[in-house]
Structure 1
Amino acid sequence: MKPSQSGSNRSQKGYTLGELMIVLVIIGILSSIVYPSYSQYMFETRRSDAWVALTNAAAAQERWYSVNFRFTDAVVNLGGGSSPEGFYAISVESSSTSYRITATAIDTKVQASDTGCTVITLDHLGIQSPNDCWK
């Protein structure tokens, strides 16, 4: 019979608490670097909701003009008062010869934090503003 062996010959498996803490610190540092870029990317992606709504409303406005010989100031005639994904409220100002369609970020949605691009406009000449929000 062999005498019992001590734990010194056993193979240890697993990670130490120190190693796990180092991994968590590295993950935290990477997250703090990546998250702001990801947030900005998501703001820019959600702006496409405003672009779609504005261009669709402009097309509807032009169709309205071709039938009625004037532009409408009723957003309901242009497809409704909100963007397809619901991040923006749509409004329109018009005269007989011009119009301006505005997409305003809804306060209760995350897009309201998109600095500088909470209000996006398109007019009858195709002028888009602010320019940085149409990229």
Structure 2
Amino acid sequence: MIKKNKGFSLVELMVVIAIVAILATIAVPLYSNYIQKNNRRDATSALMTASLAEDNFFIKNDRYSDNLSEVYRTTTDENLYTLSISNVTDDGYTLTATAIGSQQSDTECATISLEVDGAIQRKTPTACWDTY
């Protein structure tokens, strides 16, 4: 009677490891890119909310605040961006979200801005706002 070995040979095991390694080298960068794009929503939603806070401040005080912490927080919900305000005039302002921590590797959208000039809003870079 011939005894049949059960299990995998070394060659079969190495083939499986090679396939898993190839899949991982494809999947990890795609997943990282997905996470970075998803994290942009943290910045864009914070900028829109800060803009609403500035508009409410304007309604009550007949001017925009030049100190963002007076009307809103200076970091996003997920602490991936810091928020700042600049170019405050009677007609508008510019809000900027600057990436911090792990989000800094998203070089395409390291800085996301919302410029308000009266009723006109300019969102830059445009690609960073198109995350939905």
**Under a length normalisation based on structure 1, what TM-score does the superposition of the two structures give?**
0.88
Instruction: Give the Å deviation of 1:12.
Output: 1.9
Give the secondary structure class of the aligned counterpart of 1:104. Answer: strand
Distance 1:58 1:41 in 2: 26
Please give the residue correspondences for 1:4-15 in structure 2 after superposition, counting only pairs within 5 Å.
9-15=2-8
User: Secondary structure, in 3 states, of the residue corresponding to 2:121?
Assistant: coil
Please state how far the C-alpha of 1:115 moved relative to its aligned partner. Answer: 1.8
Q: Take 2:4 and 2:71, find their aligned partners in 1: how far apart are those partners? A: 73
- Which position in structure 2 is the counterpart of 1:57? 50
Matches within 5 A, 1:39-78: 39-78=32-71
Aligned positions, number = 126
Counterpart of 1:98 in structure 2 is 92
**Can you give the 5+ residue segments of structure 1 that lack an aligned partner in the other structure?**
none
* Structure 2: gaps (5+ residues): none
Match of 1:128 among 97, 100, 123: 123
Per-residue CA distance 1:39-97 (angstroms, 9 max, x = gap) = 11110000011012101100000000001111111111231110010000000011222
1:22 to 15, 30, 36: 15
Equivalence for 2:74: 81
State the TM-score, normalized to the length of structure 2. 0.90
Quote the offset at 1:98 in angstroms: 1.1
Q: Which has the higher strand share?
A: 2
Q: Percent identity?
A: 35
2:26 matches 1:37: no
CA-based RMSD of the aligned residues comes to: 1.1
The code of the aligned residue for 2:106 comes to: D
The list of structure 1 runs, each at least 4 consecutive aligned residues, that deviate by more than 3 angstroms after superposition, is: none
Q: Give the Cα–Cα distance (whole angstroms) in 2 for the partners of residues 65 and 79 of structure 1.
A: 13
